[in-house]
Structure 1
Amino acid sequence: MLRIKGLSYDVGGRELFTTLDLDVRAGESVAITGPSGSGKSTLLSCVLGLVRPAGGTVEVAGTDVTRLRGAALARHRSSKIGMVFQFGELLPELSPVDNVALAALLAGVPKDTAYRRAHELLEELGVPLTGASEQLSGGERQRTAVARALINSPALLLADEPTGALDAVARERVADVLFAMPGRHDCGLLLVTHDPAVAARADRVLALGDGTLSKADDAGTGAR
């Protein structure tokens, strides 16, 4: 679902990535750890096509996003990639169903199909279907964000510190949901986190440092 080859990127005169390689398969979860400033979020931005690398390729579902521009990039991102941010980034005045369905509507999915799928995903993830999203708990908002990321059946699910703003109980439940998604939806999951307990749930744990990825000492066991 994701294949990165020879990725290089410079920022502020500093070489952030040096011929970085990474593969994520369907049904697989990969967690990336590393200190602040190592480039974890920038790596996700390269996968999303928001940042243009100096060299290398970033293939998502067989298409090199570094070669896409404008509407073609937006279409590929919408149909093949789902993104979960640290703070959910929901529209607080909209209901959970509206937040999730909106992502499908923007991708051109018919209204009836979008709302049916939104209801199904939210029920699967245990999110209340009524009220404004601002009334949800932190964990419920993040589970809504996961549903939104999945609404267009992406090949690749990305998560940027998805449990970083949650308490211990909510963190565990959101992590349970996230790491179940590759098996349930046959997608790849690439997650970046500072939390070693969350990272350890992944099938593989990689450490980002000195511009490259290497196997982390506390590599995950794939436990869910």
Structure 2
Amino acid sequence: MPKEDTNTTRALRGLENGSASVRLQAVLAAGTAPDPRFVDKLVERCAVEPDFYVRDMLTWALTRHAPSLTVPKLIGELRSERAQARSQALHTLSKIGDRRAWPAITRALLTDADDEVARTAWRAAVVLVPEGEESELAAALATQLGRGERETQLSLSRALIALGAVVTPILRAAMADPDPGVRRHAIATERLSRNPDAGFEFAIEEAKRIVALGTTGREE
């Protein structure tokens, strides 16, 4: 058996090993010497890998392979019932940056019931959105204002801010939303966009005060 085939077989077997360090080395080998035979197993492993560092390396290894091989497989994972499969596929697609994946970033993913999937979808969408479709994406993201805990809200704020000026009218409209949670999040996002150095905690506390006073916080 040629040495290349032996190395490939060893790496593929290593991906199933019970030791995270062995799996990490196997993924490193798969990324260092890309081979189309790795792609299916790397994608499959993304859905079930429990170790954060190994998952991160899986994404790196997949970015080392041809997008023509990886992108269709990853898009297929977005329909998985397993939340980790969806979130890891979204993360990897954002790192590959191939805009052919854009149509697969559906509203269902942007509003996924799993916070980690939704957050990863927001980040991926901002990376992959075609020029001219930013406003539509911003409007879809704005439907999630007020959702979740601080970490989730910060992820959404960052995604909205990354879309640029198109979010300004959307945030201003949300500042008058009947839901105080939506109003607070919209105000905090607008504050953070104007003063990133202040930090999200400061912005959200300021937003709470503004909502408590019954104003929108808009500066004309």
Give the alignment's TM-score, normalised by structure 2: 0.29
Q: Is the radius of gyration larger for structure 1 or structure 2? A: 2
Say which structure, 1 or 2, has more relative contact order (CA 8 Å, 6+ apart): 1
Q: Report which of the two has the higher share of helix.
A: 2
Give the alignment's TM-score, normalised by structure 1: 0.29
